[in-house]
Amino acid sequence: MNDLISKKDETLEITLKNLYAQGYLTKQRLWQLSHELDLIIQKRVLNFNHGNSTSISFGNYTWIIEAIDYIFVHGYASYKNKEYLLQTTALKDVLYTGVKVIQNEIVEIKDLFEKIKMQAVYFPNDFMKYLIKKEIPSILSAWNSYNFELYYSRIKEDLSYPLLDGLPVLHQMYDLKGSDLVFYYLKRVDMEISFCMLFQKEYAEFCQLFKSIRNISVSEVFINLSEICMNQAIASYILHQRLSLLLSETQVKYLKEKLKNTKSVETIVHTAMEAILSFTDKETKEYFMMFQDIWVKNFMDFTFLDVDILVYKKKQDEQLHTFFMKKYSDINFSEMIEQLQANITVKDKIELLQRNQLQIYDMIDLLENAVFFEDKYLQYFRSLDLLSFSILLKCIIMDSSYTDLDDLLEYGIEEDSEWMRYLRIYVQSLHQEQYQEIKNNIASIKIVWK
């Protein structure tokens, strides 16, 4: 990323003066090269006017000088022992080499551009689209125009898609210009869009979610797409240790609590980024890690200032899930009790209960009859999926005077009921995210008895 050579203050004239001052050029050789430079400038001016005139505005004259300097710097830097080069080599030969160096760079720019175009199809964004449809084609076209060498040092277009650290114009164009600036810029766009490709399969769904939450399309947002993707990916990795853009409101609430209780948000973000970027190449990983402070700040703001940096699925509190159920099944209850109280393993008991398709009050009655003992109740509760366990709790709450799970656990557990005590122990042992999911289930479940 740092091998580009054009700097805004480098000129052919300064190079000649420095070589003379350091003793690499004699006074006579300096005069010869200066005279050659004058002839080169005259030729360029005449060429600029299509051979019709040597008259030119100061602005265009400055542009011609700038182009000569730019080409010279590229040619001069490509030689070994360049301090001695101009003792015998003509300026026109160095300029010829400079053009070849820049043209090779432009070949790489075109290859990068083609790659970016193919990948950007999956990540619609108006600013990226303008870069691809208008800005880069216009720059490439200028490099094929009549005065193409002039455009090596100056680009005709702004580069309006923001990089991770913003627009190039906000960073003095990274002290680069012309083809070097375009090459540097597209290298970074390529790494950023390549990172986004990790989430290609989820991106369309993420865009729909983004629009529903933010009331604006991702394609209209003036922000770097890889920053958005990394925000989501870090959150997902902290929660699940997997690559994903998709989050739920419950997960985001749990994440905030987790980060509030961690010793170092910076450390946990760094660890997540290291893991996520292990799926990229070395250069891309190093590039993103250079900017890890962006995401440390994002997640510090998210955790402690309630800044909304994440996009997630909102829970639908008013949506009811209706279950039409029978209270009891047609099993022979006494026979079932005998089988469960026989000398069989906990695993066998659980499998027996699963095979018999019991209704919810069958299950409650069996638990009341001590078909398990002590912590064996925990094994049974763990065998239930969260929705089934939520339905069990919903029925218990419906039969009590309490309105929600928190109240039931605090006030509604009968201490002389062994299975209820272990039910409370099990619920209290759950991950906060699981606990919240159960609460949401209980709130959204409607049971209709058949």
321: pLDDT strictly greater than 60: no
315: pLDDT strictly greater than 80: no
Query: How many Cβ atoms from other residues are within 10 Å of residue 403's Cβ?
Result: 10
- pLDDT, mean of residues 152-158: 87
Q: What's the pLDDT band for 318 if we cut at 50, 70, 90? A: very low
- pLDDT, mean of residues 197-205: 93
Each residue of 418-438: pLDDT tens digit? Answer: 888 888 899 989 888 888 888
192: pLDDT strictly greater than 60: yes
Give pLDDT, residue 239.
84
Each residue of 295-310: pLDDT tens digit? Answer: 999 999 999 999 999 9
322: pLDDT strictly greater than 80: no
Contact between 239 and 254 under an 8 Å Cβ cutoff? The reply is: yes
351: pLDDT strictly greater than 60: yes
**Mean pLDDT, all residues of the chain:** 88
Q: Which of 174-183, 230-239, 401-410 has the lowest mean pLDDT?
A: 401-410
25: pLDDT strictly greater than 50: yes
Q: What's the pLDDT band for 191 if we cut at 50, 70, 90? A: very high
Query: How many Cβ atoms from other residues are within 10 Å of residue 308's Cβ?
Result: 11
- pLDDT, mean of residues 232-245: 90
Q: Which of 38-47, 90-99, 180-189, 431-440 has the lowest mean pLDDT?
A: 431-440
